[in-house]
Amino acid sequence: MSEFVRLEVADGVATLRLDRPKMNALDVQVQEEIRAAAAEATDRDDVKAVVVYGGEKVFAAGADVKEMADMSYTDMVQRSGRLQSAFTAVARIPKPVVAAVTGYALGGGCELALCADVRFAAEDAVLGQPEILLGIIPGAGGTQRLTRLVGPSTAKDLIFTGRFVKADEALRIGLVDRVVAPEQVYDEALAWARQFTGAASYAVRAAKESIDRGLEVDLETGLEIERQQFAALFATDDRAIGMRSFVENGPGKAEFTGR
């Protein structure tokens, strides 16, 4: 049983819940529990979408600096790959993932939020990559995912300075996608995730993989990824259901089976 990370599933939506008082510091144990929760969310057929949530007061204030301070170069050579892959496990969940950001999402907390497909933030949320202030750089995907999301100049400004970003600026630069009242963040994220409980699951999966994999390659290769995913969906039941429903009843009325 995980001690600090839970996967709570209800009505087709899983909440990947961080619960390590008081700031959800992301030590090695939490990293591995995040990996396990992401794997479970990936494997479970009853999970159609995922909300990543740290609770009402804080998303995650970053890595456990006390733990890292005692690590040597060789320690981190061994650990850094596991750190990155734990977060990548969230990014690779083949279902829609939304981060519900309250309070602080700093360092590793911001990097975890970057692994979601979209990010909803509280009006008083604060995000940032302050690793430079510790004499290091982001090591769980921040230099790569942040750059792809907000562009190289903005990413360099945030990472070089380590400055904190309030919710309104985060929305303006594209770091978050929606800003709401603090008490509404989780409910808004949950409502977004619930859109997909009756969706054509393999089509959503194909769309996510085409976009994510396409960002990693040149245009021609990306188009080939899209072509293969597009053609493969003609082997699914939901494609037949969706097209038949469109012809007979018009758009938006199909009842998909997820097969």
Which residues are annotated as catalytic?
63, 108, 111, 131
Number of H helices, E strands in the chain: 11, 9
**Cα dist. 151→91, 157, 178, 216 in Å?**
19, 10, 19, 15
The Cα–Cα gap between 103 and 231 comes to: 43
**Nearest Cα to Cα of residue 39 among 72, 104, 85:** 85
The Cα–Cα gap between 74 and 143 comes to: 22
Residue 22: cis peptide before it, omega within 30 degrees of 0: yes
The Cα–Cα gap between 243 and 225 comes to: 23
**Nearest Cα to Cα of residue 14 among 54, 38, 50, 40:** 50
Rg of the Cα atoms in the chain: 19
**Nearest Cα to Cα of residue 114 among 164, 80, 63, 148:** 148
The Cα–Cα gap between 148 and 146 comes to: 5
